Structure 1
Amino acid sequence: MNNQLTIAEITELISSEMFTKVELENLKLDERKGVQKVINKYEKKLLLKAQQQENFNRMLVFENRQYDLGNRTVAGIDEAGRGPLAGPVVAAAVILKKDFYLPGLNDSKQLSKQMRESFFAIIKEEAISYGVGVIDNNQIDEINIYEATKRAMKSAIQQLNPIPDHLLIDAVPLDNLPCTSESITKGDQKSISIAAASVLAKVTRDKMMEEFHTKYPIYNFASNMGYGTKEHLNAIDLNGVSPYHRKSFAPVRDAISG
């Protein structure tokens, strides 16, 4: 077969995966460099696919444990924006279908912006239910960031329909919940449901910070997302604070008092 096909035809054949195992082995014997390049690229793709499947399965351990216990709906919860000097803290809760599969899904911080936004749309489309809670900077100043984070999480949970049988929470313990729960350290790297929630929370918050940037571009919120970068701190020193800054956070508080 390989002697009869051009490299372009072999590339199309491999791309469409319309070949048998024997035909693939025959193609591997083709000494043309172009053919070997196509085969190597295909085998790397297969390896990546296998690694993504393995990682995804590893991140289903907490969910599968609950399914084995008889729970049918498991929600993951995560937040974005506890550390920045400006903007809200955003939490998301999501219930995924038992057979949900999204290769490459992981902690949102480990994904590119393009991947996060693509996954954001897929998760919202395919989830059984999701909720997003937002606590703005003024509320953060009133009740502190830890309490604000818990309030955002509970707001997200309250939006879920149906009420989940179990909650997997990233790091923060919550009480007075409508079901059983567990807090998992670095949960966004260990649970696929929490990872999905982390994507919803981060993309939602990033979009808000990009909107704030259009109103106060001097702070470059679209780039730093409110975090205390050197450029951001310099902008505060030169221009004071915006309505979106957290006045209870030391660098902002110091700039106001100074």
Structure 2
Amino acid sequence: MKSDACIPLLPCVELAPTLEFYGRLGFEVTYQQRIPNPYAATRRGGAQLHFFGQKGLDPQKAYSCCLVIVDEVEQLHARFVSVLKEAYGRIPLRGVPRLTRMKKGQSRFTLVDPSGNSLMFIRRDEPSGYGDDDADAAASVLAKALKAARRLRDFKGDDAAAAKVLEGALKKADAGTTVERARALAARAELAIALGDAPRARELARDIDALPLSASEREGLREELGAIEQLVRSQE
């Protein structure tokens, strides 16, 4: 007996540019019609997405969402970054379409298509609770803020709220260790780029440089801080 299947049906402003967008990302069109209504079916591996034309759809106010379970996310995200950068001349980190940022060890990312549909790509073996440990009563203010900001960014796609949480924690002098402050500043700088505030991102990058981190601490943060440096430079 064949297993059941569930295929998401997502609205789009126009069919042609939608299919072009997903075609760049490796989705092939398996069916398409123009009448009696615009409709198309696509597939990428085991993932299927169907689209229908919807008049008056505002991508900025769209809320359709879909989960895509995949074997790995880091290489997939890197491929999407390469394709979208070639198509748009930059990595689309804000507006529509856009792609959320990716950190080493992260198990999910979100792609928002030109019609405002959000696709969350989740690694199949993602830890329960997204790797969070609820037994964090002794965690510092900055550690808790980083956890809350990550959930707001990666689960709810609310960059503004995530930035607000980090800003509040960073204002406190004894909120955590110097390394935690560096991570919080880096996360806030990343959000500043996503929110279109390049000057704030550069200011935060300077704050990171001014931190009294030891050579070993900076080495431990090298990849994380290097990614922020690259993001800031991309906005110059």
Q: TM-score range by the shorter chain?
A: 0.3 to 0.5
TM-score when normalising by structure 1: 0.31
Structure number with higher relative contact order (C-alpha < 8 Å, ≥ 6 residues apart): 1
Choose between structure 1 and 2: higher strand proportion: 2
TM-score when normalising by structure 2: 0.33
- Larger Rg computed on CA atoms: 1
